[in-house]
């Protein structure tokens, strides 16, 4: 995408110009989330793999956007995004 711009070719007083527009391919899931089971009080890790590294990820529980806290740890390395839920309770289901 960063290569999108106007390019020119100059020869003396003559100039030719072209605009390049690079269309980004969509981010897709290479590996989707899987259902998990855990005992109360334990830690659970949910992970998925994306088709592009460092793509912006938003973790949600129902309609609520999750943020990093003592309860939730959000990690992203390259194409892998992880959500770690600490001290799980029945309310985390």
The answer to whether residue 6 is domain-embedded is no
Instruction: Give the structural domain span for 39.
Output: 31-86
How many domains is the chain partitioned into structurally?
1
- Quote the pLDDT of residue 1: 82
List pLDDT tens digits, range 2-60.
Answer: 899 999 999 999 999 999 999 988 999 999 999 999 999 999 999 999 999 989 999 99
The answer to whether residue 44 is domain-embedded is yes
The answer to whether residue 41 is domain-embedded is yes
Are residues 69 and 63 in contact, defined by beta-carbon separation less than 8 angstroms?
no
The answer to whether residue 5 is domain-embedded is no
Contacts of 75 (CB under 8 A, 6+ apart): 81, 82, 83, 84
CATH number at residue 53: 2.60.40.10
The answer to whether residue 1 is domain-embedded is no
């Amino acid at each position: 995408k960063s290569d999108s711009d106007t390019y020119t070719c100059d020869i003396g007083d003559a100039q030719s110009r072209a605009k390049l527009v690079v269309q980004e391919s969509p981010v897709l899931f290479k590996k989707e989330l899987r259902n998990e089971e855990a005992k109360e009080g334990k830690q659970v890790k949910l992970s998925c793999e994306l088709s592009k590294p460092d793509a912006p990820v938003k973790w949600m529980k129902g309609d609520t956007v999750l943020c990093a806290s003592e309860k939730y740890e959000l990690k992203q390395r390259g194409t892998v995004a992880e959500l770690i839920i600490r001290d799980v309770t029945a309310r985390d289901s």
